[in-house]
Structure 1
Amino acid sequence: MPSNWINHSISSTPEIKTSEDIANVAHWRIDEFYFLIHVELLYGSRRSRGSLPAEIEERLRGCAPQDVSGILQKALIAGSVMDSGWLDDYNDIAEAISVITQGYPKEYLAQRRALNDAAAGREMSNHPRNKKVHTGSASKSSSKAPTKSFPFLSLPDEVRNHIYRLTLTPEPLIISDWAIGSLPSTMLRRTEYDVSIASTGDTRRTSYIVLSPQRHRLGTELNLLLANKQVHREASKILYGREFQFRGTADSTLAFLHDHFRKLKMMSRISMRFTTGETIPFMGCAAVSSSSTTPPSTPKTSLLAWKKIFNILVRAASGLHDFELMVDRKFWDQAPWCEGPAAVFNDTALCQPRSLSKHSGNTENFLQHVAKLSGINFRLSIAGAGEDQAKRHFQRELEKYICEKMYKRPYMAVENISCTCRKRLLTEACAWDGQKRRRSG
């Protein structure tokens, strides 16, 4: 089979290539390369030279990932777009992707030369070396007889929504952590954070992972969101209208919320886990067998990150109406639950070292942060409550007590809140310091 892949990043590719520099790979790797460039160019954080021209952005939203280069080339040749700073962004993105995917398609070399020639003002149709580039999928389709497209957007709203639901399955989405040392090659635009390794005392950087209950990562079905603006808007309501189950560290939850600021208003159902155990090692979802349906327990939840999570939800989750709090069974050993729900709720050092509140300035426990939510249906689940009648009764009473606190809270959610920072590290992002968040529109 002919070689179709270059085993180098774009910038490190040698002028003269040997058999060690090129290989034959499965077509999905080539498709992945172009798909990542397409998504990053439209929605990514790597663009530093301004937004895409509206004319180009509209064409890119409706094109196949492999046709991106051809569309940019035609825009350069036509001269309809004066500012071409976006071309530098495109080249930078392609370089970054080639590093992540550990290589790039051999055909991309010809596309890159064609773009450089077009940017230099050459007439590509008369350039012998690059005539091949014009025979790509975009121009091939134009030489064929035009085909009649299906009027999808003319269908009734309920039919389109039913199609969205069939494509984007209604199962809950599980957000947890990648295991240490197993960051995926496709991880783009995800805020990263550090977690502690109890066995060594070190910290390692990782990020969150999004899974379905069958432990499948979301993939090609999300291409639906790239069709056009209307489909993206309508399908997003279906996608973000399902339940989101946060089962990882508090940092993974906060990083996810930061990366999806603009979609928080669409999130209606959230389930979140609080871990009180001190000695649980960090594993991450990638370390779990594929046969498992439950993400592993996480180390003790960071109260600081927990506080920041609810600062965001109170302000930005305007569509939230169901919230479930899950607490591990270590709660029964640390909380003064025999004294009643009021004593537990008002304990400022609940499930924390007694000295923490004095030295850190924290005067609110994790339940009090949850109680800041207003206008929602609240459900509390404490592991081990079903094993004892007294514990089961306490769980119901504590849930009722928190609901009463929620009813008295003012509703503060605002729809148009977004992120303005371009940081990739959580402790540097606006979700952490709260200084760069603004209203959009």
Structure 2
Amino acid sequence: MSTEGHRPHPSTKTSLIDHARSLDCIHCGLCLTTCPTYQLTGSETSSPRGRIHLMRAVAEDRLEPDAGFAEEMDFCLVCRHCESVCPAGVEFGAMMEFTRSSLREQQPPGPLARFARWVGFRRILPSRFGLKAAVLGLQLGQTLGLIRLAAPLLGLRGSVMRHLPKVPPRSERRPLPAVTPAQGEKRDRVLVLEGCVMPELFGRVNHAVARTLSATGLDVLSVPKHVCCGALHAHNGEMKDAEELARETIRRFDAVDPSARIVVDSAGCGAHMREYGRLLANDPEYAARAAAFGARVVDYSEELSLPAARARLRPLLRAGHGIEGPITWDDPCHLCHGQGVVDQPRQLLDLVPGLERREMTAANSCCGSAGIYSVLRPKDSLDVLAPKLEHLAKSGAKTLVTANPGCHQQWLVGIGREGMDVPVLHLAEVLDRAISAGE
């Protein structure tokens, strides 16, 4: 990163940086110890405070937005832990999305990287056909052993590919029905996000979500033909695509029910959808509609923690669920830091009879998944995960519970590499098994 003489006023480079938000930082340093990349390197530039300083320096023409600057922005996991401890309320995640988007436009990647991003973000994630084709390719690669052979070409460790979970059988990848009717007396109806990755890799979780919500007296409505909310696009600087996917999501969900709550079982998607109002704030046609949409989004654990839902859920839960305890809950970053949901999952787990829960040290620290960070930067990702694997071992937990597909996959890979015998479950799977034990 090269520097120039100081200029007191921001230049045209403010188009690259959200300069107004950068001024909110008071440089107190409370964020440093929460930042996974700062913990890895001990470098100030690899901390939220350091990155904001770099952003401000670029906006004020004291620093060139060169390859070194771009690398530091990409090194960040955008876990948003810094936001949880920031006394000034700095919106670091929004700043990083803005910066990455501007860098992609003004300093586009090379042809190969550009093609890979085009395939991933425009032909796979927003397309059910593209996703199924990608999953089929992964399945064939796993069956024939080609994935492990390709690992070096992809920049991945062979051990990562060896412990990558198998693609689930077709029976687990079936879509949700249009309506899963309420059991017993109906009290309300909700929409659910099936998502892009979840149906293909964690379809069983979506079905567990529908069953448990139905058991508490809710009609559960799926949204036909909807695929992707745009969270991964925004996270990686593809903001134009993220905005269009947000508009499509709003249109499709509102066509089914324009007022029902929207229950999300994937933390990253929920955090992103809640911020549609900010994302589309400059769109006169969608700004108000997006803000109203975001206000309807709730996490799965929040929905089941509502008094009416909790009252219906509690008597349904039984022992004999077959889940080995003690269990521990790991906070997905975009649930605890992105949405402020901390107590609800723990309280729901504590309702399950015969299941001891142990709190894991630093449960709210990042596991290193961070969307596709684990694919783009596998070594850094596994280095971030390493201390959490130690915390898991020290907790003595026999089952780990979380609520985000990326985190789920990351834990499965890490646990497999360490040879640990600890299953990973989604919160909905735990509650679903506890309900089924009483049937």
The answer to whether TM tops 0.5 is no
Q: Give the TM-score normalised by structure 2.
A: 0.22
Q: Give the TM-score normalised by structure 1.
A: 0.22
Q: Which structure is higher in helix share?
A: 2
Q: Which structure is higher in strand share?
A: 1
Q: Which has the larger radius of gyration?
A: 1
Report which structure shows greater RCO (CA 8 Å, sep ≥6): 2
